Amino acid sequence: AQSVTQPDIHITVSEGASLELRCNYSYGATPYLFWYVQSPGQGLQLLLKYFSGDTLVQGIKGFEAEFKRSQSSFNLRKPSVHWSDAAEYFCAVGAQAAGNKLTFGGGTRVLVKP
Amino acid sequence: KAGVTQTPRYLIKTRGQQVTLSCSPISGHRSVSWYQQTPGQGLQFLFEYFSETQRNKGNFPGRFSGRQFSNSRSEMNVSTLELGDSALYLCASSPGQGAFSGELFFGEGSRLTVL
């Protein structure tokens, strides 16, 4: 069975500082990996996805993520955080055989200090 | 292009009642998935419909059901509501003709409160 762990429930970062959100997954085969962001009162928006190929993927809003098979990780990074990045971030894993069923991590809530 | 539309946005029910939630996907999207989001359990997959057929189902009791119409609009129903059914119910549509896309476009959700 697939599982996703986001070890950090909350992260506080100063505006302009860098941000890294951790994600570890468990899946037997090559996973399809995603990061979604949820702003308060909103649905989720896809930031980026990894299916295969280059292990460093670029997404929207200046985010990037790196797939490391040896560590079963897919960490999300942003070099310089803006106040509008305050939101909850979810890592998710999927599999081709599972249709569009995604397994989500518990989320990391990011607070941005001015 | 209009996004995923969910109605109603908020509703309050009492235990034992039933509820129907509606989801209109993005035009051209044939896959519709439903997720339940709660503070305790996080985001959990309910089911997915593709071309009017249920393609996947999560680990929820039979009180949770859904369907998809020929225009790809979907409804989910929860019967005999329990307090623990209070949650944000998110609908997501997905493009592509194949079995897997993984790129989900979410609506803003229907927030159900069960008293």
A5-33: pLDDT as tens digits: 999 999 999 999 999 999 999 987 778 99
The pair of three-digit structure tokens given for residue A73, joined into one six-digit string: 């990780």
Q: Which of A46, A100, A103 to mutate to test the interface with B (most CBs of B within 10 A)?
A: A100
pLDDT for A56-96, tens place per residue? 999 999 999 999 999 999 999 999 999 999 999 999 998 77
| pLDDT over threshold 90, residue B111 | yes
pLDDT at B16: 97
pLDDT for B51-82, tens place per residue? 899 988 999 999 999 999 999 999 999 999 99
pLDDT at A53: 86
- The length of chain B in residues reads 115
10 Å CB burial of residue B55 (0-12, 13-18, 19+) is middle
User: How far apart, in whole angstroms, are the C-alpha atoms of residue B76 and residue B7?
Assistant: 11
| pLDDT over threshold 80, residue A35 | yes
Strand-strand pairing, B64-68 and B74-78: antiparallel
Which chain B residues are Cβ-neighbours of A104 within 8 angstroms?
35, 42-44
Residue pair B37/B90 in contact (Cβ under 8 Å)? The answer is: yes
Residue pair B23/B3 in contact (Cβ under 8 Å)? The answer is: no
Per-window interface: B 5-44 vs A, CB < 8 A? 31, 33, 35, 42-44
Cα–Cα separations (whole angstroms), residue A101 to A32, B34, B49, B99:
11, 9, 10, 11
Q: Which of B10, B103, B104 to mutate to test the interface with A (most CBs of A within 10 A)?
A: B104
Per-window interface: B 59-88 vs A, CB < 8 A? none
| pLDDT over threshold 60, residue B98 | no
pLDDT at A49: 93
CA dihedral sign of residues B102, B103, B107, B113: positive
pLDDT cut 90: percent of chain B above it: 83
Residue pair B32/B91 in contact (Cβ under 8 Å)? The answer is: yes
Which chain B residues are Cβ-neighbours of A46 within 8 angstroms?
103-105
Nearest residue of A to residue B38, measured between CA atoms:
A106
